[in-house]
Amino acid sequence: MPEDTNTDVSRRSFLRGQWRSKSEINSRCLNNQGVYCQSCKESCDEQAIIFKQSGRGIQLPMIISERCTHCQECVESCPVNAISISDAGVN
């Protein structure tokens, strides 16, 4: 069966277990500024982003690493570039 040429190279590598990445949400997240935003959660088909109540009374996003496929949909949807996926290297 031929490979899907529309799937980007990094996603194919990840799905084959050849890629180790870490997804993080930094302090630029609008929710840290008291602005309601859940664009990352809404863009995540894997439901890997949840929002938890913080001690400051605001909801902050958290990435569930076991569900995250590092597809970068959340990165592209974030209006303030608060999400990053760092590559740890190839096996």
User: Which residues have CB under 8 Å from 81's CB, separation 6+?
Assistant: 28, 75
Spell out the domain ranges in the chain.
24-90
Q: Provide the percentage of residues in the chain whose pLDDT is more than 70.
A: 74
pLDDT tens digit sequence for 19-36: 567 889 999 999 999 899
pLDDT tens-digit readout, 46-62: 999 999 998 888 899 99
- Tell me if the pTM is above 0.85: no
Residue 39: closest CA among 85, 71, 80, 86: 80
Q: Is the CATH number 3.30.70.20 carried by domain 24-90?
A: yes
Angstrom distance (rounded) from CA 87 to CA 79 = 22
